[in-house]
Structure 1
Amino acid sequence: MNVVAIFDIGKTNKKVFLFDENYKIVWEKSVNLDETTDEDGFPCEDIEVLQKWILDRLSEIKNLNDYVLKAINFSTYGASFVYIDHNGKVLTPLYNYLKDYPEELKSDFYKKYKGEEKFAVKTASPVLGSLNSGMQIYRLKEENPALFDQVKYCLHLPQFLSFILTNEAYADITSIGCHTNLWNFKKMKYHKWLQKENISDKIPQLHYGKDVIKDENGLAIGVGLHDSSSAIIPYTINFTEPFVLLSTGTWSISLNPFNTKPLTFEELQHDCLCYLQYTEKPVKAARLFSGNEHEIQTKRLAAHFNVPLDTYKNVYFDKKLVSTLRALNFTIVYPKKYDFDILKECPFQKRDLSHYKDYETAYHQLMLDLVEQQVFSTNLVIHNSPVKKIFVDGGFSKNSIFMNLLAEAYPDVEVYAASMAQASALGAALAIHQNWNPKPIQNDLIDLKFYKH
């Protein structure tokens, strides 16, 4: 059986999948690897351990008798650079994008390049410190110039993993185009600061997501993709009508590949971003920390009502309860205009739990508040674009209260819960389809459940 191997490297879970020619998963392995620390004692990915795990899994796959390996690709978390020297040796730890960024260095940088507002709009990158991966290169150059001189290439993580197998260094547009401070979205080319700081030469040439590098055995190896951009590929291949994908996990990210309006500074301050797809088209995105909020508030509810933590899994949408709560909320102190930033704070944080007679009622209120936040966030990317469908994938797609309330909030749009095993891995496999798979792509890759409002 012909297969493609996809290494899907998350911050916590590292996975490898084999997909057959119909894009069904036929084999998989996953692992949580221990982190190491960088020279400041800050936790970070252990690049050597990761490298070894990938090479070990690869020899294991090559020894499987039932499968013929035709191609390999990578989808990994973004905002992470690996610096290699002329011999391909790794020069530094894989710095963690959660690491604090020196304030002084940051303000010097933005002063040099026309201020935060102008720069952020040009590069479609909110000011996020280390999460703007270009700022990590700038920091290395400023803090350790001698080491920086030894750098031949700065490679984003997916491209480094591809380099391990091909020994060829490339950049990829999905990694460069996700809030990195590197790309000028107005001119659709690198921002000129890279030239000024003598960094341009250390970024290898761009390689297109659909193209592969063939090794000496004719194995097709992709150059890797940023996981958020990869996850949207199955949807853009399956659906041509304008849609928004609401991808839910710790963050809920609304992705709109049909909104081509440039980002404004106000949108950037509301946690809007632009991602570039592997086809170089921008995707407007808005982030909300709602999975995290749900976790905090369900702990608070469990403690208050003295029930198990996962009680919410057995609470189902109750229309009557929602109407009662809505009627109540017009009389409670919350006017519809909040005196706080609804994208940063969930109204439920301020609610007094003793107002609710039982867990079920309080949980419905939490979901009403979370969906209200979600509508604010999603509207930032729907704004002025002809969206006909919203697909929800990830954790909240399995939550009947969330899905019903969302469908109610968008009466003119069709709302679907979408389930697909491993969207970002599947996207990385589909990106290089033409290079390994003779079959046409099927249109039943995504299971949909429609929610009527």
Structure 2
Amino acid sequence: MPVTAVLDVGKTNVKLVLFEGTAVLWQASTPNRSLPAPPYPHADVEAIWRFLMAGLREAARHHAIEDIVVTSHGATLALVGDGELALPVMDYEFAGVDAIETAYAPFRPPFAETLSPPISAGLNAGKQVFYQEAMHPEAFARVRHILPYAQYFAWRLTGIARGEVTGLGCHADLWAIPGGHLSSLATRRGWEPLFPPMVPAYAVIGPPSSAVLAETGLPPTVRVRAGIHDSSGSLLPHLLAIEPPFTVISTGTWVVIMALGAAAARLDPARDMLAYADVEGRGVPAAKFMGGREFAIILADGGTACDETDVAAAIAAGVLALPSFVANGGPFPGRPAAIRGSLPAGDGMRAALASLYCALVTDYLLEALDAARGPLVIEGSFALNRCYCGILAALRPGQDVLTGADGGGTAYGASLLAIWPQGPERPPMARTPAYADAEGLLRYRALWRAALASS
């Protein structure tokens, strides 16, 4: 198996992981911090680049790296000029983008064209570009390429600009997933020439540039792949191993629920339901909410660990965490969060309440997607949360809830681009035992949903 280095640019953390087949050979991580304005809050791409160069230099001393793959969060585009950024890479949580909503609305493609729902702040990346053009016309005139975030780092590694469908097909308003082409937004705004040739995520763009080779000590035989959106990367091991229908729940800052075999007709754009593009550009019905961020908000200063005793105590106390704890995205936009009732004392109580909340929202979205058939595969950080997994298993009694041995599904999935469409045997998946008091949990779910309906 080739040794593949994966740069995983998450919204909260950045990781560099080396894989040989399913084995992790080496890894490092660093927090991902946004820089303040001017001209708007933006990604610290130079910090990520320094981390990548230092990591590759260190890893190459001990391992023979053959491929480099970048995977990144979505809703992020890089506007590249002649050899450098024409404008900073916008942080998609920048609420100031909404200032141009009235001007943008006539250009927003219809949902049926893109399967991209309207979302607040900069979560529709096409609206970011519209804002950048309107507010910074001189800088925008220097743009030569519009690149999804993963392909920006591939460009920095190789000097070659390429586009890729999963980066443009994640609620960006820029890609018509059903048709497989740039959307009417791109054509009506005259942006088409700024999008470089599209290639598959697994395509070899080229070797690292001479400057990167000199800085890292990598050999010139290293192949840099185009790269992939992180949620689409999470799908890859399961596309090889499971026949649809099945659902992948990719977790981190966001909880992204991708239901293979579900019907696009079920998608409700008002509830942040959408389609992602898979590695071959096919639409995958999905829904999402900012579950990792909401979990952290509910947790406050409490410990992250909990057990069934804590969950039972929270249910018995009737404490309800009601959405939404973040303003951006999710099925309950604009609804103010609330915690009703008082938690009993105990170190795990906050984590139990946060796990209940995230499992209940996940269950709600699974029902909305009609994802009631086939296994549920939990990837990412929530795969390590036994309370969340056990609660979800009890809420979905007809479906197996499966988790991997660790929370690194996105990076591992992205590593498969080096050998796609082949793959090693999928890492073993464990069936999660359901929370024991299913009857009490179902009563609690009924209370939670009634509280939603009445407020």
Same fold per superposition (TM over 0.5): yes
Query: Residues of 2 paired with 1:210 and 1:168: CA distance?
Result: 15
231, 239, 242: which one aligns with 2:242: 239
Do residues 12 (structure 1) and 12 (structure 2) align? yes
Query: 1:305 matched to which residue of 2?
Result: none
1:5-404 matched pairs, under 5 angstroms: 5-20=5-20, 22-32=21-31, 35-40=34-39, 42-62=40-60, 64=61, 66-85=62-81, 87-112=82-107, 119-128=110-119, 129-215=121-207, 217-262=220-265, 264=267, 267-299=268-300, 309-310=302-303, 313-316=305-308, 325=316, 343=332, 349-353=338-342, 368=356, 370-381=358-369, 383=370, 387-404=373-390
2:116–2:274 Cα contact (<8 Å) kept: yes
Distance 1:347-1:169 versus aligned 2 partners, 3 A rule:
closer
Q: Secondary structure of 2:122's match?
A: helix
Distance 1:112-1:59 versus aligned 2 partners, 3 A rule:
closer
1:158–1:224 Cα contact (<8 Å) kept: yes
2:70–2:414 Cα contact (<8 Å) kept: yes
Q: CA deviation at 1:333?
A: 12
Q: CA deviation at 1:55?
A: 2.9
1:121–1:263 Cα contact (<8 Å) kept: no
1:244–1:389 Cα contact (<8 Å) kept: yes
Q: CA deviation at 1:363?
A: 7.3
Which structure has the larger Rg over C-alpha atoms? 1
**Identity level (%):** 21
Query: 1:443 matched to which residue of 2?
Result: 425
State the one-letter code of the partner of 1:123.
Answer: T
Q: Deviations over 1:188-244 (max 9, x none)?
A: 321123122111000111111122134283322101111111122122222224211
Query: 2:3 matched to which residue of 1?
Result: 3
Query: Residues of 1 paired with 2:250 and 2:189: CA distance?
Result: 36
Query: Residues of 1 paired with 2:132 and 2:275: CA distance?
Result: 25
Query: Residues of 1 paired with 2:262 and 2:193: CA distance?
Result: 33
Distance 1:358-1:67 versus aligned 2 partners, 3 A rule:
closer
402, 405, 429: which one aligns with 1:419: 405
Q: CA deviation at 1:377?
A: 1.6
1:250–1:290 Cα contact (<8 Å) kept: yes
Distance 1:245-1:296 versus aligned 2 partners, 3 A rule:
same
Query: Residues of 2 paired with 1:261 and 1:287: CA distance?
Result: 15
Query: Residues of 1 paired with 2:44 and 2:247: CA distance?
Result: 35
Query: Residues of 2 paired with 1:139 and 1:345: CA distance?
Result: 22
Q: CA deviation at 1:137?
A: 1.6
1:416–1:451 Cα contact (<8 Å) kept: no
Aligned residues: 415
Q: CA deviation at 1:135?
A: 1.4
Q: CA deviation at 1:72?
A: 0.8
Distance 1:153-1:237 versus aligned 2 partners, 3 A rule:
same
1:170–1:204 Cα contact (<8 Å) kept: yes
Distance 1:368-1:49 versus aligned 2 partners, 3 A rule:
closer
State the one-letter code of the partner of 2:261.
Answer: F
State the one-letter code of the partner of 1:167.
Answer: G
Q: CA deviation at 1:262?
A: 4.2
Query: Residues of 1 paired with 2:155 and 2:295: CA distance?
Result: 39
Query: 1:405 matched to which residue of 2?
Result: 391
Distance 1:102-1:50 versus aligned 2 partners, 3 A rule:
closer
1:417–1:449 Cα contact (<8 Å) kept: yes
Unmatched 5+ residue regions in structure 2?
209-219, 322-329, 439-455
Q: Secondary structure of 1:150's match?
A: coil
State the one-letter code of the partner of 1:192.
Answer: S
Q: Deviations over 1:143-193 (max 9, x none)?
A: 232322221111122111111122211110010000001012342321123
Q: Secondary structure of 2:264's match?
A: coil
Query: Residues of 2 paired with 1:250 and 1:428: CA distance?
Result: 18
State the one-letter code of the partner of 2:363.
Answer: V
Query: Residues of 1 paired with 2:3 and 2:387: CA distance?
Result: 39
Distance 1:155-1:314 versus aligned 2 partners, 3 A rule:
closer
1:80–1:133 Cα contact (<8 Å) kept: yes
Query: 2:215 matched to which residue of 1?
Result: none
2:34–2:91 Cα contact (<8 Å) kept: no
1:228–1:424 Cα contact (<8 Å) kept: yes
Distance 1:345-1:316 versus aligned 2 partners, 3 A rule:
farther
Query: Residues of 1 paired with 2:357 and 2:320: CA distance?
Result: 14
Task: Provide the alpha-carbon RMSD of the alignment.
Answer: 3.4
